[in-house]
Amino acid sequence: MRRSPLVWTFGVSVFFFSFASAGNSFITLSSTTSTQASGFFDYILPLFKQKTGIDVHVIAAGTGQALRLAEKGDADALLVHDKAGEMKFVNAGFGVDRREMMYNDFVFVGPRADPAGIRGTTDAVAVLKAIGAQRATFVSRADDSGTHRAELRLWEEAGVDARAASGTWYKELGAGMGATLNTAAALDSYTLSDRATWLTFRNRGDLELLAEGDPRLFNQYSLILVNPRRHPHVKFNAASKFVEFLTSTEGQNAIGEYVVEGTVLFRPNYQKAE
Amino acid sequence: MNEFADAAVLASKLVLHADATLLEIVRRSLEVSLAAVGCASVLGLSAGALLAVTRFPGRKLCIILTNALMGLPPVVVGLLVYLSLSRTGPFGGWGLLFTPTAMVIAQIVLITPIICALSRQTLEDLWLEYAEQLRSLRVTAFGSLRTLLWEARYSLLTAILAGFGRAIAEVGAVLIVGGNIAHVTRVMTTTIALETSRGDLALALALGFILITIAMLVNGTTFVLRELADCDAR
């Protein structure tokens, strides 16, 4: 009897199905687009895997989405950067053992022509006041990420109601850091970026780093474990190993040794709790 | 124009050197989409055949529904599958979210209606032509169905390939349910999205070229199959 294509495709699909779902020991880490886009995970995860044999599956989203994903129990650990959101998450009982583990900073990038004249300004609030006064084009992540939340806090401090101008000179994208930089390059507009993503970004066009150095641009990254009491299925032990590794002397040194274009992207700053 | 030239050069380099990362991504794309097409074919062809040869109340409604579902927006499918497979969702206990299996499920949902609707049309036309003959020969229901499926094999394969084309080119659903995890759920379309966001347009375009090549191969195969079917019919 001739074999129908049906039988054939079914056989193939069963084969691939079993193949595709084969897996081993892993944890799921809910994290941010900045840590992924900067290549940090490509560097640090193999070191952890070598030490423990545990794979880390990274879901990169904005901090807001990363927190919500973990609230639903779809991740074992978090690496995010929004202290207010993190504290809320921990206080609501979703997370335990929050550890501040590294930092970098935000920078203002914009077109070389610099219509708002912010070049060299070290006061982040003055930068936004100038951009608002000039109604110079500014693209915002608008994705509830750590960077977006930091940006909104700065607008508030500057006393500029940028969101009222949404759609005119202030453009809300709802996109990751890289996609936002692409848009900024295409529209010759200003934006706020974390330094790591900016340094590793390849499609800069006419964009330049224009303003930096305000202490308010400090950007702290923290690790949080998803509370096993809330979500009993989480891989708490394996995820704890990951947190222990990144906050150990070895892990902290490794973080400090990650250099792109001569610049350290993330500076380790874990302080053991007293 | 420079970007296109750079991308073309990079694409050919990656392919010629059989770049390991590239091969891995292409292989995973094929695995996921072939698995989805396999399952969707079984489901879609069975449902299509059933709708073609049986008569029952509500059949018209089913046909309208499958035709409408052919245009399911991938992101919506992604969202629904995501909510179902999430730990707090109805199937959360399986722990399938962010695995290749989740991507296969999303693609099955997406393309089963396509295969079902297209095969239903083909089989129904054929059934009208053959019904009397098969009945007079006292062929069993199962036997009739097998004859129909065999006679329509080229058109049915075309329907399956249409499903495959949709599955492998789709990004919205697999990005949501797969999470674009490196070495686990990263496929061609999600890599293109990621590399574009990294500003690495050359690699994104290189993968785009490969995807287009696969799409053209599928379409070419469909065309050849049609020709074969026409030859057979004569």
Q: Which residues, in sequence order, are bridge partners of residue A110?
A: A208
Q: Which amino acid is at B181?
A: I
pLDDT for residue B233? 66
Contacts of A126 (CB under 8 A, 6+ apart): A118, A158
Question: Across residues A172-188, what is the average pLDDT?
Answer: 91
Pick from A6, A42, A204: CB nearest B149: A6
Check whether A4 has a pLDDT greater than 70: no
CB A36 within 8 A of CB A197: no
pLDDT for residue A202? 85
Pick from A21, A33, A177: CB nearest B99: A21
Contact between A9 and B86 using a beta-carbon 8 Å cutoff: no
Confidence at A175, pLDDT banded by 50, 70, 90: confident
Length of chain B equals 234
What is the rounded CA–CA span in Å between residue A19 and residue A37? 29
pLDDT for residue B226? 80
Contact between A73 and B88 using a beta-carbon 8 Å cutoff: yes
What is the rounded CA–CA span in Å between residue A170 and residue B34? 44
Q: Are residues A110 and A88 in the same domain?
A: no
Contact between A16 and B38 using a beta-carbon 8 Å cutoff: yes
- Any domain includes A232: yes
pLDDT in tens, A140-150: 999 899 999 99
Max avg pLDDT among A17-21, A129-133, A203-207, B55-59: A129-133
Our count of domains for chain B comes to 1
pLDDT for residue B82? 94
Question: Across residues A204-228, what is the average pLDDT?
Answer: 95
Nearest residue of chain B to residue A197 (CA atoms):
B198
- Any domain includes A73: yes
Look at residue A190 and give its three-state secondary structure: strand
What is the rounded CA–CA span in Å between residue B65 and residue B41? 18
Residue range of the domain that includes A143 = 105-217
What is the rounded CA–CA span in Å between residue B14 and residue B23? 9
Q: In terms of pLDDT, which residue wins out, B93 or A224?
A: A224
Contact between B198 and A201 using a beta-carbon 8 Å cutoff: yes
CB A220 within 8 A of CB A168: no
| Chosen from A4, A8, A9, A94 to mutate, greatest number of chain B CBs within 10 A | A9
pLDDT for residue A39? 87
Pick from A57, A179, A202: CB nearest B200: A202
Q: Are residues A54 and A177 in the same domain?
A: no
Q: Are residues A122 and A189 in the same domain?
A: yes
- Any domain includes A11: no
pLDDT for residue B191? 92
Q: By the CB < 8 Å criterion, does B101 face chain A?
A: yes
The b-or-e profile of A73-95 (16+ CB within 10 A means b, else e) is bbbbbbbbbbeebbeebbeeebb
Q: Which residues, in sequence order, are bridge partners of residue A111?
A: A207
Confidence at A191, pLDDT banded by 50, 70, 90: very high
Rounded to the nearest 5 degrees, what angle is found at the Cα of B190, between the Cα atoms of B186 and B196? 125
Q: Are residues A128 and A206 in the same domain?
A: yes
* Min Cα separation A188/chain B (Å): 15
For residue B121 the two structure tokens come to 């049309």
- Any domain includes A205: yes
What is the rounded CA–CA span in Å between residue A251 and residue A79? 14
- Any domain includes A261: yes
Q: Are residues A61 and A37 in the same domain?
A: yes
Confidence at A107, pLDDT banded by 50, 70, 90: very high
What is the rounded CA–CA span in Å between residue A179 and residue B194? 9
Residue A97: which CATH number? 3.40.190.10
ipTM: 0.75
pLDDT for residue A2? 43
Residues of A in contact with B149 (CB under 8 A): 4, 6
| Chosen from A2, A4, A13, A34 to mutate, greatest number of chain B CBs within 10 A | A13
pLDDT for residue A196? 92
What is the rounded CA–CA span in Å between residue B108 and residue B39? 7
Q: Are residues A114 and A213 in the same domain?
A: yes
Residue range of the domain that includes B177 = 2-233
pLDDT for residue A24? 59
Q: In terms of pLDDT, which residue wins out, A206 or B5?
A: A206
What is the rounded CA–CA span in Å between residue B150 and residue A235? 50
Q: Are residues A213 and A235 in the same domain?
A: no
Confidence at A84, pLDDT banded by 50, 70, 90: very high
What is the rounded CA–CA span in Å between residue A182 and residue A211? 19
Q: Are residues A91 and A226 in the same domain?
A: yes
pLDDT in tens, A249-272: 999 999 999 998 888 999 999 998
Of B30, B12, B68, the closest CA to residue B164 belongs to B30
Q: By the CB < 8 Å criterion, does B136 face chain A?
A: no
Contact between A74 and B39 using a beta-carbon 8 Å cutoff: no
pLDDT for residue B234? 63
- Any domain includes A112: yes
What is the rounded CA–CA span in Å between residue A151 and residue A217? 9
Q: Are residues A200 and A226 in the same domain?
A: no
Residues of A in contact with B84 (CB under 8 A): none
**Any idea which residue has 């919500």 for tokens?**
A68
Q: How many CB atoms lie within 10 A of CB B114?
A: 25
Q: Number of residue pairs across A and B with CB atoms under 8 Å?
A: 114
Q: How many CB atoms lie within 10 A of CB B54?
A: 10
- Any domain includes A10: no
Q: Over chain A, what is the mean pLDDT?
A: 89
Residue B167: which CATH number? 1.10.3720.10
Q: By the CB < 8 Å criterion, does B32 face chain A?
A: yes
pLDDT in tens, B26-84: 999 999 999 999 999 999 999 999 999 888 999 999 999 999 999 899 999 999 999 99
Q: Are residues A110 and A205 in the same domain?
A: yes
Q: Where would I find the H helices in chain B? A: 2-16, 20-53, 59-69, 74-85, 100-136, 141-151, 153-168, 172-178, 188-197, 201-233
- Any domain includes A179: yes
Check whether A23 has a pLDDT greater than 50: no
Q: Are residues A157 and A175 in the same domain?
A: yes
Give the residues of chain B that fall short of pLDDT 50. none
Do strands A170-172 and A218-226 pair parallel, antiparallel, or not at all (unpaired)?
A: unpaired
| Chosen from B27, B32, B83, B87 to mutate, greatest number of chain A CBs within 10 A | B87
The b-or-e profile of B136-151 (16+ CB within 10 A means b, else e) is eeeeeeeebbbbbbeb
Our count of domains for chain A comes to 2
